[in-house]
Amino acid sequence: MQIDIEEIKLIDQIRNKDQQAFRSLFDCYYKQLYAYARKFVHDDIAHNAVQDLFASIWQKSNSITITTSLQNYLISGVRNNCLHWLEKQKVRNKYVNDTAIQMAIDELNFYANTEDSYQSLIEAELQGKLNEAISKLPPQCQKVFIMSRSEGKKNKEIAEELGISVKAVEKHLTKALKILKEDLKDYLPLLLALLG
């Protein structure tokens, strides 16, 4: 994935020590990066891995070179910070067979070699959360939502199939989206990253 024009502008602003641009970068990516780090390391270390990355970006802003997408650059930075911490733990625990640490290191290394590591890693979990939220929708609402989003049917087709008005279909979809947005509010940054 190549870096886009908006990302280039944002990076240029950060190179010029624009605090607002940096804050915008932080706000946009912090939750996603934390969720990624949390797959491998515990809570405090995950926060540190992300904060250290942003601190490093700010300190070295004038020499940042990004050739891939901004998201991939940030994911790589967090992945490296997690790996560094896990490797240190492995050295500290060298007399203990710490399988969990080795598994986390192996998984991080595996995803480092896939083209889209971020999506590969969290897609299944997000899909599970989405399916769970959909299953909680009222029956007719759920049916309309699935026909619209999963089966790609137009509102008119859904209305004809279910014997309801197009307006009723629109109401069900609006209701479904409102419920899902509420149920998945903690996952929205991740969902948007996947869909973006």
Backbone angles phi, psi at 68, to 5 degrees: -100, -165
Count of residues in the chain: 196
* Rounded Cα distance, 131 and 129, in Å: 6
Question: Which pLDDT value is given to residue 144?
Answer: 92
* Rounded Cα distance, 70 and 47, in Å: 19
State the greatest distance between any 2 C-alpha atoms of the chain, in Å, as a whole number.
69
**Those residues with Cβ within 8 angstroms of residue 41's Cβ, 6 or more apart along the chain or in another chain:** 49, 82, 85, 86, 104
What is the phi-psi region of residue 99: left when phi exceeds 0, alpha when psi lies from -120 to 50, beta otherwise?
A: alpha
Give the pLDDT means over successive 10-residue stretches in the chain (196 positions): 68 88 89 84 89 92 76 83 80 57 59 51 62 87 88 89 93 88 68 46
| Tens-digit pLDDT profile for residues 94-148 | 654 555 556 556 665 655 555 454 454 455 556 667 778 888 899 999 999 889 8
pTM for this entry: 0.52
What's the CATH code, domain 122-195? 1.10.10.10
Every domain of the chain with CATH number 1.10.1740.10 lies at 5-113
104: nearest Cα among 46, 151, 174 = 46
* Rounded Cα distance, 22 and 19, in Å: 5
Return the SS3 of 68: strand
What's the CATH code, domain 5-113? 1.10.1740.10
Every domain of the chain with CATH number 1.10.10.10 lies at 122-195
Question: Which pLDDT value is given to residue 195?
Answer: 42
